[in-house]
Chain A
Amino acid sequence: MIEEVGTTTEGDLVINVGPQHPATHGVLHLVITLNGETIKKVEPHLGYIHRSIEKMCESLTYRQFIYVTSRMDYLSAHINNHACALCVEKGLQVEVPQRAQYIRVIMDELTRIASHELWWGAMAMDLGAFTPFFHAFRERETINTIMEETCGARLTMNYMVPGGVMFDLHPDFQKKVKAFIQQYTSKINEYDELVTGNIIFQNRMKGIGYVTKEDAISYGCTGPVARGSGVASDIRKIAPYDVYDKVEFDEVLETGGDSFARYLVRVKEMQQSIRIIEQLIDNIPEGDFQAKTKAVLKLPKGEFYQRVETARGELGVYIISEGGTTPYRIKFRSPGFSNLSILDHMVRGHKIGDLVAAMGTLDLVIPDIDR
Chain B
Amino acid sequence: MIECSVAAFDFYNMSLTNEIIKQKLVEKFGESVTSFEEPYGLLSFEAPKDMNLKVMQFLYDDEQLQFRFLTDLCAVHYPDNKGRELAVVYMLHNLNNNIRLRFKVFTDVNQPDVFTASRLFESANWMERETYDFFGVNFVGHPNLKRILNVDEMDYFPLRKEYPLEDQTRVDKDDEMFGRGGTIV
The chain A residues found within 8 Å of chain B, CB to CB, are: 46-47, 50, 52, 54-56, 58-59, 86, 89-90, 93, 95-96, 101, 215, 217-220, 222, 231-233, 238-239, 241-242, 302-305, 307, 314, 316, 318, 320, 328-329, 331, 333, 337-338, 341-342, 345, 370-371
Contacts and interface: CB of A to CB of B under 8 A. Distances in A.
Contact of B123 (A47, A238, A320, A338): A338
B126 A341 contact: yes
Nearest to B98: A238
A259 B95 CA distance: 23
Contacts of A90: 1-3, 40
Contacts of B72: 316, 318, 331, 333
Contact of A59 (B125, B127, B165): B165
A105 to B, nearest CB: 11
B95 A215 contact: no
A214 to B, nearest CB: 9
Contacts of B149: 46-47, 50, 370-371
Contacts of A337: 126-127, 130
Nearest to A60: B165
Contact of A314 (B71, B126, B148, B165): B71
Contacts of B134: 54
Contact of B71 (A50, A52, A86, A316): A316
Contacts of A320: 76
A336 to B, nearest CB: 11
A68 B103 CA distance: 28
Interface string B89-112: 101000100100010000000000
Given A303-B44, A318-B72, 9 more contacts: A47-B151, A50-B150, A52-B159, A55-B158, A95-B2, A218-B122, A318-B89, A333-B72, A338-B126
Interface residues on B, range: 35 or more
Nearest to B163: A55
B68 interface: yes
A241 B121 CA distance: 28
Contacts of B126: 337-338, 341
Contacts of A218: 68, 121-123
Contacts of A371: 149
Interface string B146-167: 0111110000001100000100
Contacts of A305: 40, 42, 91, 102
Q: Which of A55, A96, A305, A328 has the most CB of B within 10 A?
A: A305
A6 to B, nearest CB: 19
Interface string B24-49: 00000000000000011010100000
A320 B78 CA distance: 11
28 contacts: A46-B149, A47-B147, A47-B151, A52-B159, A54-B134, A54-B159, A55-B159, A56-B165, A89-B1, A89-B2, A90-B2, A90-B40, A93-B2, A95-B2, A101-B1, A215-B122, A218-B68, A220-B69, A220-B121, A220-B123, A233-B95, A318-B72, A318-B74, A320-B76, A333-B74, A338-B127, A341-B123, A342-B122
Nearest to A90: B40
A103 to B, nearest CB: 14
A96 B74 CA distance: 30
B95 A232 contact: yes
Contact of A86 (B1, B39, B69, B150): B1
A314 B98 CA distance: 14
Given A50-B149, A220-B123, A316-B91, A58 B39 contact: no
B111 to A, nearest CB: 21
Closest 3 CB pairs of A and B: A220-B123, A47-B149, A238-B98
Q: Which of B121, B122, B148 has the most CB of A within 10 A?
A: B122
A55 B74 contact: no
A304 B3 CA distance: 11
